Amino acid sequence: MKRVLDRNQDKAEQIRSLLKEKKVRMYNLISSPGAGKTTLLEQTCRHLDHQLRVGIIEGDVYTDRDAQRLKQYGFPIVLINTEGGCHLDSNSIDGALKEFDLEEMDLLFVENVGNLVCPSHFDLGETAKIAVVSTSEGDDKPIKYPMLFRDARAVILNKIDLLEHTNFNYDAFIKDLRQVNPTVPLFETSCTRGEGLQDWYRWLEQEGRNA
Amino acid sequence: MHEVSIVNDLFRIVLDVAEKEKLSRIDKVHFQLGRMMQVVPELFRFAFDSAKADTIADQAQLEIEFLSVKMRCKDCGHEFEVDQEDFCCPQCQGVDLDLLQGKELFIKSIEGE
């Protein structure tokens, strides 16, 4: 019996122990395209400015547009173009990590390729996965993609300001999410308006103290 | 499209094993696939058939055995199969569950000579 993806898993474990040794936390942000990962990172970087030493690994299918958007905050960014690939893997993260000075870093965000299925299968050696979902994409995501929502250490429900303009059934979303993952912290945010982000920042700080 | 990455990894292992076992031809690969992995079988077969071209597995058959999602309820200990989307214990309605089966991507056997 041979396990497929063992090579990815072995590399991920190496990364996990390296990050632990260097006391760097790494969060793997997973969502559909357009849920708001980049805007969440923009807000978060702006908030964390000078409080924590942050780095970003930006997964993009072809372009550097997201990396360009994030550049202005002055944090080190490494872009990984997957050239059509639908997810990042631990080997590409291993390469990206060599570009950072991990001694001078507290927190790393990985913006995975926009996709809810594939990225959740590939362990990157992250401290935790964060699932980002938005009200404009429908309320059935937790039950359709249980693997991600079970594994996530936090869930962000973004575009909460658009709720009244969509047919997003909030109660159904909560019921499904709680069935798939009864205890995961949920942050309801509008990353464009900045609503609800304080709780997310507090959670990030708390996680740092617990690490 | 994680099917392609999984198949690439599968082939690396299959060809490795074939080399170690000194096989000159691979006839069949028996693969176990957990339902939680959301692999699309048609895409997986297509990726397999593309990958096998020009290798010693170019005539190989792919046999996929699906494994259901099984959970154990942390509250009452009941073990059950998840039917479709029902991530809930049928005995006590508990939702705090341990995954027992469903994430498998295993090569169970390779046949060849």
Does A101 reside within a domain?
A: yes
Between B1 and A114, the higher pLDDT residue: A114
Q: Would you state the pLDDT for residue B18?
A: 94
Q: Would you state the pLDDT for residue A202?
A: 95
Does A1 reside within a domain?
A: no
| Contacts with B13 from chain A: Cβ below 8 Å | 2, 4, 6
Number of folded domains that form chain A: 1
Question: Which chain B residue shows the shortest CA-CA distance from A89?
Answer: B5
Note down the domain range covering A83. Answer: 6-210
Note down the domain range covering B34. Answer: 2-112
Q: Would you state the pLDDT for residue A22?
A: 96
Beta strands A154-158 and A186-188 are parallel
Contact B99, B92 (CB under 8 A): no
| Contacts with B1 from chain A: Cβ below 8 Å | 85-86, 118
ipTM above 0.85, yes or no: no
Positions in chain B short of pLDDT 70: 1
Which has the closest alpha carbon to A127: A145, A103, A100, A151? A151
pLDDT digits (tens, 9 = 90+) for A147-182: 999 999 999 999 999 999 999 999 999 999 999 999
Does A156 reside within a domain?
A: yes
Q: What is the mean pLDDT of residues A131-135?
A: 98
Q: What is the mean pLDDT of residues A43-69?
A: 89
Where residue B52 sits, what CATH number does that domain have? 3.30.2320.80
* Residue B24 CB-density burial (10 A; 0-12 exposed, 13-18 middle, 19+ buried): exposed
Question: Which chain A residue shows the shortest CA-CA distance from B74?
Answer: A182
Query: What's the gap in Å between the CA of B109 and the closest CA on chain A?
Result: 7
| Contacts with A182 from chain B: Cβ below 8 Å | 95-96
Average pLDDT, chain A: 93
Does A126 reside within a domain?
A: yes
Contact B71, B34 (CB under 8 A): no
Whether B108 contacts chain A with CB within 8 A? yes
Number of folded domains that form chain B: 1
Q: Would you state the pLDDT for residue B95?
A: 87
Where residue A161 sits, what CATH number does that domain have? 3.40.50.300
Task: Inform me whether the pLDDT recorded for A115 exceeds 70.
Answer: yes
Q: Residues in chain B, how many?
A: 113
